[in-house]
Amino acid sequence: MKRVVMAGIVVAFMLVACDRQKIYENDFRIPETGWKQSEMASFEVNVTDTASLCNVYINVRNTSQYKWMELWLFVNVRTPSGIQQRDTVKIGIADERGKWLGNGLGSKFDNSLLWQHNVRFPETGAYTFEYEQGMRDEPLLGVDDIGLRVEKSLK
């Protein structure tokens, strides 16, 4: 019994310690009817630290209903001063044999892509990140959530 309690305490401590680096994390729920190209997933990150290096992740939760090996996204970023950037991002969802990548149980799978490594935000204020699905399916089925995580880099 003592070992179980101690193991639980250690796991809880590790989870809290691992998340100390988190600056922002949020998910956008995709409707059950599918993700239309006109529907943007939007995230607003308030940056107060311009000195630290950061890692930016794109998180995807897909179901076994997803029929492709990858997910293509158009990622738009707007800085507090209005500068806009656009990037095209490919996220692996399954391997060439159709085996799901990421972690999951049953019919749901979580993938996390390190999109930007060791970046600095050049100014303080609200940064807006928008995701637009870049697949040919309209609407795109099999994606439950799409998310953004920003954390301080451990270098």
Q: Give all domains of the chain, ordered by start, each with its CATH number.
A: 23-152 (2.60.120.380)
- Amino acid, res. 58: I
Q: Residue range 8-20: average pLDDT?
A: 53
Whole-prediction pTM value? Answer: 0.85
Using alpha carbons, select from 107, 116, 114 the residue that is nearest to residue 144. Answer: 107
**pLDDT one-digit tens code per residue, 89-148:** 999 999 999 899 999 888 999 999 999 999 999 999 999 999 999 999 999 999 999 999
- Amino acid, res. 97: R
Task: Identify the residue whose tokens are 């044999």.
Answer: 97
The C-alpha atoms of residue 134 and residue 71 are separated, in whole angstroms, by 8
pLDDT at res. 69: 96
Residue 8 has pLDDT above 80, yes or no: no
Count CB neighbours of 28 within 10 A: 18
The C-alpha atoms of residue 42 and residue 95 are separated, in whole angstroms, by 28
CB-based burial, 89-115: b 16+ in 10 Å, e otherwise = eebebbeeeeebbbeeeeeebbbebeb
Largest CA distance in the chain: 57
The C-alpha atoms of residue 96 and residue 79 are separated, in whole angstroms, by 37
